Structure 1
Amino acid sequence: MTQQYPPQQQYPPPWGQPQGWPAPQGQPNVGWNRSQQAFGQVAWPQQPGGFQQPGGFQQQPWGYQQPAGYPQPGQFNQAPRPRSPLSRIVVLLVVLCGLLLAGVVVANALGGGSSNTTPTPQDTWSPPPPDLNPPDLPSPTTYSEATEWLQKNKVYSQNTTIPTACPNLQPIDATSASESELTAHLQELTSCLVRVWKEPLEAAGFELPRPPATVYSQTIQTACGKFDDLENAVYCGADQRIYYGKALPDVFPANLRSTTFLMEMVLAHEFGHAIQYRTGIGIASAAWEQRQSTQAAANVFSRRLEMQADCFAGMWVHAVAESQGLSSGDLNGLSQIAYTIGDDVLSGKTNIDSGHGLGATRQKWFETGLTGTGRIGQCNTYTVPAGQVR
């Protein structure tokens, strides 16, 4: 049964409907727009009467079950037995042996022995479950405020932690994995993405609910309309969810489809859009984009949004590369993927003026995140000259 997108409060004037890159008539804006050959577009529902603030879309998750909580330890209520003098001596000897053993363990640890006996704080991190009813996205009320959010956003002063360990995430070959395997992998992937981004966003005063993630192998109905392109990946702003088309690797050249961490990089880009919309950057950028009087001027804002998501993807890969065992060759492969999804490479038109950017420029922004210090402000695409997001 198709669930309808519930009407929400409309933006006050002068806000209109953020259109983003125009999709074919009657179709939602999607992550990989096959008609435009453009990767990573944010999807929004098309509704008459102006843009309506997303939030509250209800739908059952696919393939995810919230893990049960840990059982509480029981309490021993048995009264202690009286001890004889001999038993006290035995207990004393046991305690002394225990102290000696503890001293050996400490000495071994200080001397470089195994540290596997004590879990690290990262090993005990527990991810939040996917949020099926996330809070509304922040939205500016004036264009002046929108500019402030784009150029001087509070999140820019924060840092991601490099390295960050995600022990449960393992690379997967998306070309041969089953839908159930992809679904399970996607849950671990969003958990790891939240692990890297949650702390800096909250330190800047923002919320980061974990987006539910869905793998689809046939047409599905979403708050952003029907998704029937299986070679696709989408962040839908209307329900704050991520969708992954099972056949997406087929979009890439055959020699690149098995690139290590390809699927993870694609989803990290889509999660980058989630970061943008949870920090107000997404709606602020869309508002300025739809105010432009020419398509060329609007394209500049679209490219700033997309290349910032490329940079966020590179920053996440940088954070987890060590724990995932990614080699320099693997990272070079991902950099090549960023080049391959440029508008010029996909269209075959040199210097095309479109909404996502040239391959070399997308590669440059991905590498900015991949090789940087982890400071989120390095991905601020809204203060650089337009030529740097060409």
Structure 2
Amino acid sequence: MTQQPWGQSGAQRPGSYQGGPGWPQQPGQAQGWQQPYGQQPGWGHGQAPWPAQAPTQYQGQWPGQYPGRAPVQQYPGAPSQPPRKQGSPLKLLLLGLVAVVALGFFFISLKHYLDGGQDVVTPQPGSTLPPAVAPEDIPEPDYNPSDLPMPTTYAEAEQWLTDNPVYAQSVAVPTNCALTRVDAVNASVSELEDHLNNLTGCLWVVWSPPLEAAGFEMPRPPVTVYNQPITTGCGQLEDVNAVYCAGDQRVYYAKPLYKIFPADVARLPFMPDMVIGHEFGHAIQARTGILISDLALEQKMDEDEATVMSRRAEQQADCFAGQFLQAVSQATGMSQDNLTNLKLIAANLGDDVLTGQPGYVGDHGSSAARERWFTKGLTETSMGQCNTWTVPAGQVR
């Protein structure tokens, strides 16, 4: 994959499959992989073989594997939670689709100097830390997770986006799980990988209770740190990137990611934790059926409508990242400056800032929108407050 900088015409989304045969637009009709929306890189939406006039339930077939990349995994059986219909052709299609979906979180330029402060966040009344979760109660990273929930109809997909059971749940604030700090510049691959895998322990502590209360499972995804092209369940990752791959339900983080930051930002406390918090937000979407429902519905839409859907998915992950960092901020001893700096990172990830084009409409959202949803996560505990699927499109602009 040719690496291209943000904002250039023709830039590709790292993490999405960029070539190869075997992706039919209709059963039996071979087509190349299509890059569906815009030029701004982002999480790897891929054009899937959905019929132009989509029926209530898809009737096509899905090929088994594709030469030149990792084979599509076939996930037999239905997910164990919540109960779903068995053997749906739509579900079989989506299982193939999800095997090539990677959702990434990218950085290119930050215009603000972000410095860490020392003023520790003041605990709010009634926010005494609960007992810490014992290490032996936190599961090991799951290399063989259960199947992702799959909708069987488009109506069900829409319901999972707008009225998902998880929206009735809340994140426990404060959560007694403390983050450590890592020097993202000088840490070795193994040191950074150890840090990020320990981080997913805290992510699991925060997110497993609300997901299980809603009837879903939350396996703990492994994190792999790479510094050269790597083959994943979503194909080959070459770019400096961070990705949640739905094909193998793992997270991938490029060791050279810090090189895209100014020198003083590269060592910013909790920058890698925020990145992985966003990627874990995509894992939450995958484990609650939101991710695959979004992909299903996007295939019925025109380019503009699908771009709005992409922004909804990205900014929901921003909001979930904010909720996680809110939950662990007291135990971690984060300063107000730390939290302010993280908001500035969110703001500088807007499509308009990254392209240098005020008013640019991309598939991640504007600086103002991304900061707004991340900040909402820092201040709200209800997961329903991160429901980006029912707000006017202008709120994810």
User: Structure 2 length as normaliser, TM-score?
Assistant: 0.70
**Is 1:239 aligned with 2:248?**
yes
The residue aligned with 1:251 is 260
Structure 2 residue aligned with 1:26, among 16, 19, 40? Answer: 19
Q: How does 1:176-215 map to 2 (within 5 A)?
A: 176-215=186-225
List structure 1 runs of 4+ shifted beyond 4 angstroms.
20-24, 42-52, 54-57
Instruction: Evaluate the alpha carbon distance shift between residue 288 and residue 382 of structure 1 in structure 2; reply closer, same or farther with a 3 A threshold.
Output: same
Per-residue CA deviation, residues 78-122 of structure 1 (Å, 9 max, x unaligned), is xxxxxxxxxxxxxxxxxxxxxxxxxxxxxxxxxxxxxxxxx9453
Does the 8 A contact of 1:213 with 1:241 survive in 2?
yes
Q: Given that residues 307 and 365 in structure 1 are in contact (C-alpha distance below 8 angstroms), is that contact kept between their aligned partners in structure 2?
A: yes
CA contact (8 A) 1:207 1:278 kept: yes
Look up the SS of the partner of 2:332 in the other structure: coil
Aligned to 2:184: 174
**Which letter does structure 2 place at the counterpart of 1:384?**
V
1:292 to 301, 305, 310: 301
CA distance in 2, matches of 1:321, 1:159: 16
Give the whole-Å Cα distance in 2 for the aligned partners of 1:38 and 1:358.
14
Which digits, 9 at most, give the CA deviation of each residue in 1:338-361, with x for residues without a partner?
011111111111221211001111
**CA shift at 1:251, angstroms?**
2.3
Q: Please give the alpha-carbon distance, in whole angstroms, between the structure 1 residues aligned to 2:297 and 2:312.
A: 11
Q: Which amino acid aligns with 1:146?
A: A
- Percent identity reads 50
Letter of the 1:284 counterpart:
S
Give 1:178's aligned amino acid: S
Q: 1:252 deviation in Å?
A: 2.9
Q: CA–CA distance in 1 between the matches of 2:190 and 2:132?
A: 30
Whether the aligned pair in 1 keeps the contact of 2:174 and 2:326 (CA below 8 Å) is: yes
Matches within 5 A, 1:114-193: 120-123=131-134, 126-167=137-178, 169-193=179-203
Partner of 1:354: 362
Deviation, 1:21, is 9.9
Q: Pick which of 220-229 and 43-52 moved more.
A: 43-52
Q: Which residue pairs with 2:113 in the alignment? A: none
What's the CA shift for 1:172?
Answer: 1.2
Specify the SS of the correspondent of 1:322. Answer: helix
CA contact (8 A) 1:224 1:236 kept: yes
Question: What is the CA deviation profile of residues 6-41 of structure 1, one whole-angstrom value per residue up to 9, with x for unaligned ones?
Answer: xxxxxxxxxxxxxx99958428xxxxxxx95545x1
Secondary structure of the corresponding residue to residue 172 of structure 1: coil
1:259-270 superposed matches below 5 A: 259-270=268-279
2:350 matched to 1:342?
yes
Amino acid at match of 2:246: G
Cα offset, 1:198, TM superposition: 0.2
Q: Judge conservation of contact 2:167–2:387 (CA < 8 Å) in 1.
A: yes
- Helix, strand or coil at the partner of 1:130: coil
Structure 1 residues 256 and 182: CA distance shift in structure 2, 3 A: same
Q: Give per-residue Cα distances to partners, 1:33-85, cap 9 Å, x unaligned.
A: xx95545x15779899474516999xxxxxxxxxxxxxxxxxxxxxxxxxxxx
Q: Is the 2:132–2:177 Cα contact (8 Å) retained in structure 1? A: no
1:217 counterpart residue number: 227
Aligned residue among 275, 282, 287 for 2:291: 282
Query: For 2:272, what is the secondary structure of its paired residue?
Result: helix
1:323: how far off? 1.1
Q: 1:164 to 1:55 in 2, by over 3 A?
A: farther
Distance in 2 between the 1:247 and 1:387 partners? 35
Residue identity opposite 2:222 in structure 1:
P
Aligned to 1:308: 316
Alpha-carbon separation, structure 1, partners of 2:132 and 2:230:
39
Does 2:95 align with 1:53? yes
- Structure 1 Cα separation of the partners of residues 96 and 143 of structure 2: 13
Q: Does 1:378 align with 2:388?
A: no
Aligned length: 299
Q: Distance in 1 between matches of 2:135 and 2:228?
A: 37
Does the CA contact (< 8 Å) of 1:130 and 1:212 recur in 2? yes
Q: How does 1:51-90 map to 2 (within 5 A)?
A: 51-53=93-95
Structure 1 residues 190 and 36, CA gap change in structure 2 (3 angstroms): farther
Distance 2:39 2:260 in 1: 13
Unaligned runs of 5+ in 1: 1-19, 28-34, 58-118
| Cα RMSD after superposing both structures | 2.7
- Higher alpha-carbon deviation: 235-244 or 171-180: 171-180
Tell me, in whole angstroms, the C-alpha distance in 1 between the residues paired with 2:175 and 2:228. 35
User: TM-score with structure 1 length normalisation?
Assistant: 0.71
Q: Find the residue that maps to 2:95 and give its secondary structure.
A: coil
Q: CA deviation at 1:131?
A: 1.3
User: Which letter maps to 1:380?
Assistant: N
